[in-house]
Amino acid sequence: MFSPKHPKLEVLIGPETTIKGELTSKGTVKIDGRFEGNLSADCIIIGEGGAVLGDVTAKALIVGGKLTGNARTSESVEVQPKGEVYGDIITTRLSVAEGGQFDGRSSMQKNLEIEFKPAEA
């Protein structure tokens, strides 16, 4: 799961955790609980039991759980077999595995530049 394409894990939201707000991180953010708000990171992974209610911005997005909101990525969006996306996707590469659900519009563009705003110190 973690490789040069997926930077090291920086944030993990556990299965019994709910967070409301805005999160910006360098590296990988894994959601196994519930996150409500806007999320921005290099790589975002929504685990099978995870749910995000809000918009996400990343280089790469992997959805094994549920995303209700829009996704904007510069590299890829992968909807896994139990993944659900309800919202629009803008990316350069989109894959939806058999069993995965996607309800929204998709726009795929080559060399898409996503503005990443690091957390202010």
- Mean pLDDT over residues 58-86, rounded? 97
Integer Cα distance of 2 and 7 in angstroms: 7
CB-based contacts of 76, cutoff 8 Å, min separation 6: 60, 61, 91, 92, 93, 94, 95
Percentage of the chain exceeding pLDDT 90? 79
Question: Which percentage of the chain shows pLDDT scores above 70?
Answer: 85
pLDDT value at position 9?
A: 83
| Mean pLDDT, range 59-81, rounded to an integer | 97
> DSSP assignment of 12-63, as one string?
EE-TT-EEES-EEEEEEEEESSEEES-EEEEEEEE-TT-EEES-EEEEEEEE
Across the range 56-60, mean pLDDT stands at 96
Question: How far, rounded to the nearest angstrom, does the alpha carbon of residue 46 sit from its chain's CA centroid?
Answer: 6
3 neighbors 21 (Cβ within 8 angstroms): no
Q: What is the pTM of this model?
A: 0.85
